[in-house]
Amino acid sequence: MSIQVLLSTMIMMTVNISTTPFYSLKDKVSLSLHFIAKEEGSFHTLVHLMDQRLSYMKDVAAYKWVNKLPIEDVQREEIVLAKSMSAAGQFGLDSLSTRSFFETQISLAKTIQQFWFDQWTREGFVTYDYADLKTEIRPALLELGDDILKTIAELQPWQFGRGEKRQAKRLLLKEILVKGQKKRDRLPLYTAIFKIQP
Distances in Å between the Cα of 124 and the Cα atoms of 65, 119, 158, 180 are: 11, 7, 45, 17
Instruction: Please state the domain extents for the chain.
Output: 41-193
Any idea which of 30-34, 101-105, 156-160, 173-177 has the lowest mean pLDDT?
30-34
Q: pLDDT tens across 101-151, in order?
A: 999 999 999 999 999 999 999 999 999 999 999 999 999 999 999 999 999
- Containing 172, the helix (H) or strand (E) segment is helix 162-175
Residue 178 φ/ψ, nearest 5 degrees: -60, 135
The predicted model scores a pTM of 0.79
Q: pLDDT tens across 11-22, in order?
A: 344 444 344 344
pLDDT number for residue 57:
98
User: How many other β-carbons are positioned within 10 Å of the β-carbon of residue 5?
Assistant: 12
Distances in Å between the Cα of 3 and the Cα atoms of 6, 39, 181 are: 5, 11, 30
* DSSP per-residue letters across 58-71: HHHHHHHHHTT--S
Q: pLDDT tens across 182-192, in order?
A: 999 999 999 99
Classified by CATH at the fold level, domain 41-193 comes out as Chorismate Mutase Domain, subunit A (1.20.59)
AA identity, residue 41:
G
